[in-house]
A and B are shown apart, each in its own frame.
Chain A
Amino acid sequence: MGRRHVSRQDATLPFRGDVEIRLRADASSRAPALVFFSTALVWLLFGSIEGTLASLKLHMPDLLTSAGWLTFGRVRTAHLNAVNYGWASLASIGVALWIIPRLVHTELRWPRVATAGAVVWNVGLVIGIALILAGRNDGLEWLEMDRYLADPFLVVGGGMAGVTLLATLLARQSGHLYVTVWYTIAAFLWFPVIFVIGNWPTWTGVESAAVNWFYAHNALGLWFTPMGVGAAYYFIPKVLGRPVYSYQLSILGFWTLAFFYALNGMHHLIGGPVPTWMITTSIVASVLMVIPVLAVAVNHHMTMVGRFGALRYSPTLRFVVLGAISYTAVSLQGSFTALREVNRVTHFTHWTVAHAHVGVYAFVTMVLFGSMYYIVPRLVRREWPSARLIQWHFWLVLAGIALYIIPLTLAGGFQGLAMLDPAVPFQRSIEVTRWALVSRSAAGVLLTTGHAIFAYHFWLMVRRRGPTREVPPFHEPVPVVYERPEGQA
């Protein structure tokens, strides 16, 4: 009896080579991807509750102030770290672990190392967020977790997942690299660099602020963005069954992001005590971002043209397309906000908070939801139990994020204009935002409810509560396993 084997010449048989490769790739990433997704959802729920509580405190300041760990400074910081390093990072890594083996036509190398990486990363998160709630915080935006007690776990855990992906890439059976591979692998190379630089303990004073914003902005642009755009470049063509409109444009988008993005973050310090030429350099780099953004936007839109009806049939596509549209919106808004004349109004206002949520939620999280809707059934070999729960999830999070972003963006503009007017008392700049803060809390409730539904649905899936099927879904029922003839090399 020969062993299971796939070779190029067999690809001429109906489905056999391709589907076999895909099934093996999926099987190899099953355990680590599920661990990353499961723990990501726990952090999403925790982060949502913390975020809603922090929002309520902005217009109900006496709410739950009896204990230190319930005060705004700790709750809001715990929310930020839970959703960024818990939800978005873990889910993104889970997506990467599933996509890369498929695209390089081989199995995931060392899947147990990746699974262990998820455990290590989560240990770091538990330590870091527990310390934040206990009042111990490094005092830097997006870098609040303790750099000695928590962050090393993230470096090691992320490194373990990254090493498995790099080993898988090196063992690839495909002769080419799809653009998603470029984005994803680059993110895994960029993130450790910016994370270590951001956490380096020697920066002080102004330099610390500059490095802080270098990190915080690049965490979005060189970690979450490539993961999200890479996933969108996979799922939109995959569901539609047609290649991206222009592959050259996708390559242009990736490389211009790689060349220009790293200098973007300094525009957060407009008006700050840093050399003007550095701020100007950052503004120029921010405006140059229009190139990769339009490349991605045109490509995704033109790929969808003539196929928009697919949005009715595919929850994956609905979430991912919404995320892709939001990517265009948040990036163009970012370039616009980086201009000095705009920034002098929007700086220190809720505009920035809304902008961050367009990026991390409307773009990254929507893409991650869509990705998980596609991936999880292929990992657990059963379809989602309830179409209605998917509908509820989609409409709740869509309504929630709209109710969050639109009022807060408008109120941020009003707030900035009020603060710039010397005839208007400062108190007034607070009062003009109150309606938006209430709307933001209502949005938090909607979003948290949507997340709870998604997490419950996921739990039903992994607990095998979905419809039973005679054959595993998503591949042809005819077995693709065959034998190599005896004696053949």
Chain B
Amino acid sequence: MLPSSLAVVLTGLGLGVGALAVFAWSWRRGLFDDIPAQADLVFDERDNRLERPWETAEQKADRRRRYGELIAPEPGEWGGAT
């Protein structure tokens, strides 16, 4: 006897197995090869050089060392208003 919710079971499994297939395909395509580069995709160069007022002197020095001289943020830079 078929369960009364066969549609749910089949669709749920279909979505899970479909995800597994996409994961395998992505893996073979090398979409998980360069993890650090993926994590940095969110930034552009300006992001890295913005001076963030909440950062400590050490954190700012580290940012300066890695990305060069810092630049001042624009008013409202962090989603707010001046």
**Residues of A participating in the B interface, judged by any CB pair closer than 8 Å:** 11, 14-15, 18-19, 21-22, 103, 174-180, 186, 190, 193-194, 197, 200, 203, 205-207, 210-211, 214, 222, 234, 237-241, 243-244, 247-248, 251, 255, 258-260, 262-263, 265-266, 273-275, 278, 281, 306-307, 309-310, 312-317, 370, 373-374, 377, 383-387, 389-390, 466-467, 469, 473-476
Contact = CB atoms under 8 A, between A and B. Distances in A.
B81 A210 contact: no
A473 B79 contact: no
B79 A315 contact: yes
Nearest to A466: B81
A274 B9 CA distance: 12
Interface string B54-82: 11000100010000000100111111111
Given A14-B45, A18-B45, A211 B8 contact: yes
Interface in B1-40: 3-9, 11-13, 15-16, 19-20, 22-23, 31-32, 34-40
Nearest to B17: A259
B4 A313 contact: no
28 contacts: A19-B44, A22-B44, A103-B41, A178-B42, A186-B19, A207-B7, A211-B5, A239-B79, A241-B48, A241-B63, A243-B43, A259-B16, A263-B16, A278-B8, A312-B54, A313-B53, A316-B79, A316-B80, A370-B79, A383-B75, A383-B81, A384-B81, A386-B81, A389-B81, A473-B76, A475-B46, A476-B46, A476-B71
Contact of A266 (B5, B16, B47): B5
A18 B47 CA distance: 10
A428 B46 CA distance: 61
Nearest to B53: A313
**Residue among A103, A383, A385, A389 with the highest chain B CB neighbour number at 10 A:** A383
B13 to A, nearest CB: 8
A186 B32 CA distance: 17
Contact of B46 (A19, A207, A260, A262): A19
A18 B46 contact: yes
Given A176-B38, A177-B31, A244-B39, A474 B63 contact: no
Contacts of B23: 255, 258
A322 to B, nearest CB: 13
**Residue among B45, B75, B80 with the highest chain A CB neighbour number at 10 A:** B80
A313 B80 contact: yes
**Residue among B9, B52, B76 with the highest chain A CB neighbour number at 10 A:** B76
Given A255-B19, A262-B13, A390-B81, 13 more contacts: A14-B45, A200-B7, A206-B4, A214-B5, A255-B23, A317-B78, A384-B79, A384-B81, A386-B81, A387-B81, A467-B82, A473-B74, A473-B75
